[in-house]
Structure 1
Amino acid sequence: MMPSREEIVSFLLDSAPSPMTALELRERFSVAETEAPRFLALLSELVTEGRAVEIKGGRYAHPSRVGLVVGRISMHRDGFGFVDRRESGAPDLFVGNRELAGAMHGDMVIARVEKSGPKPSGSVIRILKRGTERIIGKVRMRGKYALVAPLDERFNENVYVHLDDLGGAVDGQLVQVELTAYPSQGEPPAGIVVHVLGYQGDKDAEAGAIALKHKVRIDFPDTVLRDAEKFPRKVAAADISGREDLRFVPFVTIDGEKAKDFDDAVHVEEGPGGSLILRVAIADVSHYVVPGTPVDSEALLRGTSTYFPDRVFPMLPEALSNNLCSLVPREDRLTMVAQMEFTKGGRRKAQRFFPAVIRSVHRLTYNKVARILDDPDCEEATVYADVADGLHRMWSLASLIRARRKERGSIDFDLPEAEIILDISGRPEDIVRSERNRAHYLIEEFMIAANEAVAEFLEDKGIPAPFRIHEEPDAGKVEEFKKFIHNFGYFIRTEGKLKPGDFQALVEKTEGKPEARMINQVMLRTMKKAVYHYENLGHFGLASTHYLHFTSPIRRYPDLFVHRILKMAIKPKGIPKKKKEELREMLSVECPRLSDCERGSEAAEREAVAWKKCQFMADKVGERYWGFVTGVATFGFFVELEQYFVEGLVHVSSLKDDFYHYNEEQQTLMGERGRRTFRIGDRIEVILERVDESRRQIDFTVLPPPELPVSRETKPGSREFPGQREARGRKPKEGERGPGEQKPREQKPGEPKAREQRGRRRGKKR
Structure 2
Amino acid sequence: MQNALLKNNALLSQLKSQLRESTPRVEGRIKATDKGFGFLETEDGKSYFVPPPQMKLVLHGDLVRAALHEETDKKGEQRQTAEPEELLEASLSRFIGRIQRVQGKLAVVPDHPSIKQPLKGKSVSGLDESSLKDGDWVVAFLERHPLKPADKSFFVEVTQLIATAEDHYAPWWVILARHDLPHEQPVIEEDWTLTDPEGLVRQDLTAEAFFTIDSDSTLDMDDALAITPLDAGGWELKVAIADPSAYVLEGSAADIEARTRAFTLYLPARTVTMLPKTLSDDLCSLMEGQKRPALVASIRIDAAGNLVGPADFTAAWIQSSARLDYQKVSDWLEGQGDWQPTSDSLTNALRQLQALAATRLQWRHDHALVFRDQPDYRFVLDADGKVTDILAEERRVAHKMVEEAMLLANTCAADLLAEKVGQGIYNVHQGFDPEKIGHALKLIEEQGLNYHGEAFNAETLDTLAGFRHLRLALDDLPSGWLDARLRKDQGYSLLSILPGPHFGLGLQQYATWTSPIRKYGDLVNHRLIKAVLAGVTPHPLEDTLTEQLTAARRINRLAERDVKDWLYARFLSEQIGERFDAEIISINRGGLRARLQANGAVVFVPASSIHAVKEEMNADAEHGWIMIGDAIRYRLTDRIQVELSEVKVDQRSLIGRLVG
Is the 1:75–1:154 contact (alpha carbons within 8 Å) kept by the matching residues of 2?
no
CA 329–656 in structure 1, closer or farther in 2 if over 3 Å, else same = same
Instruction: Give the match for residue 511 of structure 2.
Output: 548
Mean Cα displacement is larger for which, 416-425 or 526-535? 416-425
Q: Secondary structure at the match of 2:574?
A: helix
The match for 1:662 is: 618
Q: Which of 238, 241, 249 pairs up with 1:282? A: 241
2: CA distance between counterparts of 1:525 and 1:327?
40
Q: Which residue is equivalent to 2:571? A: 616
What is the CA-CA distance between 1:242 and the residue it aligns to? 4.1
**What is the count of residue pairs matched by the alignment?**
585
Q: 1:132 to 1:406 in 2, by over 3 A?
A: farther
Q: What CA distance in whole angstroms lies between the structure 2 residues aligned with 1:666 and 1:408?
A: 30
For the 8 Å contact 2:214–2:325, the answer to whether it is kept is: yes
User: Offset of 1:141 from its aligned partner?
Assistant: 3.5
Separation of aligned partners in 1, 2:399 and 2:489: 26
The residue aligned with 1:408 is: 367
Partner of 1:562: 525
Aligned-partner residue type, residue 607 of structure 2: V
Q: 1:482 to 1:367 in 2, by over 3 A?
A: farther
Distance of aligned partners of 1:567 and 1:80 in 2 relative to their CA distance in 1, 3 Å threshold: farther
AA aligned opposite 1:543: G
Residue 606 of structure 1 is matched in structure 2 by 561
1:137 lines up with 2:97 in the alignment: yes
- Pairwise CA distance, 1:680: 6.1
Matched residue, 2:650: 694
Q: Report the AA paired with residue 692 of structure 1.
A: K
Counterpart position of 2:543: 588
Write the letter of the residue equivalent to 2:408.
A
Q: TM-score, normalised by structure 1?
A: 0.67
- Structure-2 separation of matches of 1:208 and 1:634: 35
Deviation by residue 1:290-336 (Cα, 9 ceiling, x = unmatched):
23333222221111111112211221222222122111111111111
CA contact (8 A) 2:644 2:657 kept: yes
Q: Distance in 2 between matches of 1:274 and 1:596?
A: 44
1:432–1:645 CA contact under 8 A, matched in 2: no
Letter of the 1:561 partner, please give it: V
Q: Does 1:264 align with 2:223?
A: yes
Aligned 1:151-170 pairs, distance under 5 A: 151-153=111-113, 161-165=121-125, 167-168=127-128, 169-170=132-133
- Residue 312 of structure 1 is matched in structure 2 by 271
Aligned to 1:528: 491
Separation in structure 1 between the aligned mates of residue 322 and residue 113 of structure 2, nearest angstrom: 49
Residue from 467, 485, 494 that aligns with 2:456: 494
Identify which of 203, 210, 225 aligns with 2:175: 210
1:422 touches 1:429 (CA, 8 Å); kept in 2? yes
SS at match of 2:361: helix
**Residues 384 and 698 of structure 1: CA distance in aligned 2, closer, same or farther (over 3 Å):** farther
Structure possessing the higher radius of gyration over alpha carbons: 2
CA contact (8 A) 1:621 1:690 kept: yes
Counterpart-to-counterpart distance in 2, 1:194 and 1:336: 45
CA RMSD in angstroms, aligned pairs only? 4.2
Unaligned runs of 5+ in 2: 1-27, 33-37, 64-85
Separation in 2 of the partners of 1:217 and 1:258? 22
SS at match of 1:339: strand
SS at match of 1:570: helix
Contact 2:123/2:157 (CA < 8 Å) preserved in 1? no
- CA 81–471 in structure 1, closer or farther in 2 if over 3 Å, else same: farther
Q: Is the 8 A contact 1:415 1:521 kept in 2?
A: no
Question: SS in structure 1 opposite 2:328?
Answer: helix
CA distance in 1, matches of 2:261, 2:30: 25
Matched, 1:322 2:284: no
Task: Give the letter for the 2:467 counterpart.
Answer: P
CA–CA separation in structure 1 for the residues paired with 2:29 and 2:487: 21
1:616-663, CA deviations, whole angstroms, 9 ceiling, x for partnerless residues? 211122344565656544322345556554442221223575445126
Given that 1:174 and 1:200 are in contact with CA atoms closer than 8 Å, whether structure 2 keeps it comes out as: yes
Deviation at 1:692, TM superposition (A): 1.2
The partner residue of 1:219 within 184, 196, 199 is 184
1:760 aligns with none
Alignment map for 1:326-725 (pairs within 5 Å):
326-348=285-307, 349-375=309-335, 379-383=338-342, 385-484=344-443, 493-495=455-457, 496-498=459-461, 499-510=466-477, 515-516=479-480, 518-575=481-538, 579-580=539-540, 583=541, 587-625=542-580, 632-641=587-596, 644-654=599-609, 657-659=612-614, 660-662=616-618, 664=620, 667-670=625-628, 677=633, 686-702=642-658, 709=660
Letter matched to residue 628 of structure 2: M
Instruction: Measure, in 2, the Cα distance between the counterparts of 1:559 and 1:676.
Output: 47
Q: For residues 154 and 343 of structure 2, what CA distance do their matches in structure 1 show?
A: 61
Alignment check: 8 A CA contact 1:333 1:358 kept: yes
Shift of 1:588: 0.4
TM-score by length of 2: 0.77
Q: What SS does the corresponding residue of 2:654 show, helix, strand or coil?
A: strand
Change (3 A) 1:279 1:94: farther
Contact 1:75 1:82 in 2 (8 A): no
Matched position secondary structure for 1:369: helix
- Cα 1:218–1:475 change in 2 (3 A) is same
State the 1:177 CA deviation: 3.3
Give the Å deviation of 1:602: 0.9
